[in-house]
Structure 1
Amino acid sequence: MRSDWPTPNVPYLKANDVCCVVREPLLEDDIPIEEKPLRAYSVAILRIVDAAHPAVNEFGLYAAEPIPPHSFVCNYIGRVHLQTEYPDSDYAVTYFGEYALDATHTGNEARFINDYRNIASRPNVAFDTYKDVDGMIQVGVWSLNKPIVPGEEILGNYGKGYWRARGVKGVLGPDWDDSWD
């Protein structure tokens, strides 16, 4: 367990908890394969104290060392299940196909990545599915085309659909901009 883990009621995981029989995609091309182990960067989970931040008094994930552009930051770890089981989860990302990876009840530091909207002009990381060197399907968090400096909040893009499903209207910012790659 991390020393900065702030949620004792949410068990910390080092590997995904697969709760169902997962049928892998038919085409191997659908998921890229990493040929060598990936180096994760050091990150810190911190309480947000800035009153202007939309998640004030909650937690965020911050770079604890410089993270170069186009680098693996860490894996998003949680429980693998069918997307239809928990369609309204605030902590679910697409695993692949009909499966979600959900960090609501168990997870790792990546569950503290906030959406960039109303915090920054763009995200600095993206989520992407890949197979690790052991052939296990993972969801990685990857820095985009700009470095992330120590102390900078790591911000993703939840997508407009996430906000619309929660009744938030007028959410600013694109779902994706090719200049972020």
Structure 2
Amino acid sequence: MAPTAKSKPKPTNWPSTLPYLTAPLLSPVLTRRPTSPTIASLNLHTPTPTSSPSALVRIKPITTPSHPACGQSGLFATRTLAARSWVLDYLGVYHTAGESDPNSDYDISLDRESGVAVDAAGCGNEGRFVNDYRGVRERPNVEFGDRRTGDKGEGEGQARVAIYVGSKEVRKGEELLVSYGKGFWEGRRG
């Protein structure tokens, strides 16, 4: 009997219709431009898989009626997370600014200078479930930041958008909430 391919584990409550990623995907445009100096500086063609699913977070349905994301899902700490610590990378499709989907609520800039962004609308990891803090708490408790995989100070690893704990620890069971930015909400006004 031939061995079968083992499917990658997915987090609890992961949507069955959404591909789960352990490393970013590259858009067709980025795949065709591997030698561009700005693209090469981001090390996009050396994907480093992450430990997945993350043991630090859990996806849970939001059932509180007053929560702006009621009926959707959020990202919650499975243990106390230290202030200023890395939580996980935000994975999705790396793409150029020209490939951006104006209707995506999951698109984040990776590098403004090169015009590369990450969109987790059609595939991603747990990071796509981090909600905006507005209407839930006074301030965000996590933030987006830059990270290099395997970085030992030389900036050699693959460029990533990461989620980091803010200036105060996040307690076990707390929802991780970030600021999407004023521009996000201004773009969605009627």
List gaps (5 residues or longer) in structure 1.
31-37, 169-181
Deviation at 1:84, TM superposition (A): 3.0
Give the superposed CA RMSD.
2.4
| CA shift for structure 1 position 129 | 1.9
Identify which of 154, 160, 174 aligns with 2:176: 154
Please tell me whether the aligned partners of residues 41 and 72 of structure 1 are also in contact (alpha carbons under 8 angstroms).
no
In 2, the alpha carbon distance for the partners of 1:41 and 1:70 equals 18
> What SS class does the counterpart of residue 98 from structure 2 fall into?
coil
Letter matched to residue 56 of structure 2? S
In the TM superposition, what whole-angstrom CA distance separates every residue of 1:5-44 from its partner, at most 9, and x where no partner exists?
4311110000000112364649x7x9xxxxxxx9965101
**Hey, what's the Cα distance between the residues in 2 that align with 1:135 and 1:119?**
35
Separation of aligned partners in 2, 1:99 and 1:51: 37
**Identity level (%):** 33
In terms of mean alpha carbon deviation, does 38-47 or 153-162 score higher? 38-47
Structure 1 length-normalised TM: 0.80
CA apart distance, 1:130: 2.1
- Aligned residue type for 1:139: V
Secondary structure at 1:84 match in 2? helix
Residue deviations 1:105-158 (CA, integer Å, cap 9, x gap): 010001000000111111111111222116111111100100000110000110
The residue correspondences of 1:64-75 to structure 2 (distance < 5 A) are 64-75=78-89
Q: How many aligned residue pairs are there?
A: 160
Where does residue 18 of structure 1 map in the other structure? 26
Larger-gyration structure (1/2) = 2
Instruction: Give 2:149's aligned amino acid.
Output: D
Q: Give the match for residue 93 of structure 1.
A: 108
Instruction: Answer whether contact 1:41 1:67 (CA < 8 A) is retained.
Output: no
| Corresponding residue SS for 2:138 | coil
Q: Deviations over 1:29-67 (max 9, x none)?
A: x9xxxxxxx996510100001011011010000000110
Partner residue in 2 for 1:120? 137
Give the TM-score taking structure 2 as reference length: 0.77
Q: Which structure 2 residues correspond to residues 24-35 of structure 1 after superposition, within 5 A?
A: 25=38
Cα distance between partner residues in 2 of 1:45 and 1:24: 37
Note the residue ranges of structure 2 that are not aligned, 5 or more in a row: 1-8, 43-49, 151-155
Aligned to 1:34: none
Cα separation, 2, equivalents of 1:17 and 1:152: 30
1:4 alignment partner in structure 2? 12
